[in-house]
Amino acid sequence: MALLPDPEPLFELIEALNTLPGIGKRTARRMAYHLLQYDREGAAKISETINQALNELKHCQMCNSFTTEDICPICASQRRDHSLLCVVETAADLNMIEASHGYHGLYYVLMGKVSPLDGVGAQKLNLERLFHRVLDYPVQEVILATNFTAEGETTAHYLGNVLRDQGIKVSRIARGVPSGSELEYVDAGTIAWALTERRTD
Interacting residues toward a copy of itself by CB under 8 A = 1-4, 6-10, 12-13, 15-17, 19-22, 27, 29-40, 42-57, 66-68, 72, 74, 90-92, 94-95, 98-99, 111-112, 184, 188
Nearer to a copy of itself, 9 or 121 (CB): 9
- Which region holds residue 24: left if phi is over 0, alpha if psi is between -120 and 50, else beta? beta
Tell which residue, 190, 149, 193, 163, has the closest CA to residue 87: 163
Tell which residue, 92, 57, 52, has the closest CA to residue 72: 57
Using alpha carbons, list the distances in angstroms from residue 84 to 30, 49, 69, 172, 193. 47, 34, 22, 13, 17
Choose from a copy of itself, Zn ion, none: what does 30 bind? Cβ within 5-8 Å by kind. a copy of itself
Choose from Zn ion, a copy of itself, none: what does 63 bind? Cβ within 5-8 Å by kind. Zn ion
- Residue 168 binds Zn ion, judged by CB under 5 A: no
Binding segment for Zn ion among 43-51, 63-71, 112-120, 181-189 (CB under 5 A)?
Answer: 63-71
Nearer to a copy of itself, 90 or 155 (CB): 90
- Residue 97 binds Zn ion, judged by CB under 5 A: no
Instruction: Determine how many CB atoms are found less than 10 A away from the CB of residue 85.
Output: 26
Choose from Zn ion, a copy of itself, none: what does 62 bind? Cβ within 5-8 Å by kind. Zn ion
Q: What distance in Å separates the CA atoms of residue 174 and residue 171, rounded to the nearest whole number?
A: 9
Nearer to Zn ion, 32 or 72 (CB): 72
Choose from Zn ion, a copy of itself, none: what does 123 bind? Cβ within 5-8 Å by kind. none
- Residue 72 binds Zn ion, judged by CB under 5 A: yes
Q: What distance in Å separates the CA atoms of residue 32 and residue 37, rounded to the nearest whole number?
A: 8
Q: Which residues of 106-115 are buried (b: 16+ CB within 10 A; e: fewer)?
A: bbbbbbebbb
Binding site for Zn ion (CB under 5 A): 60, 62-63, 72, 75
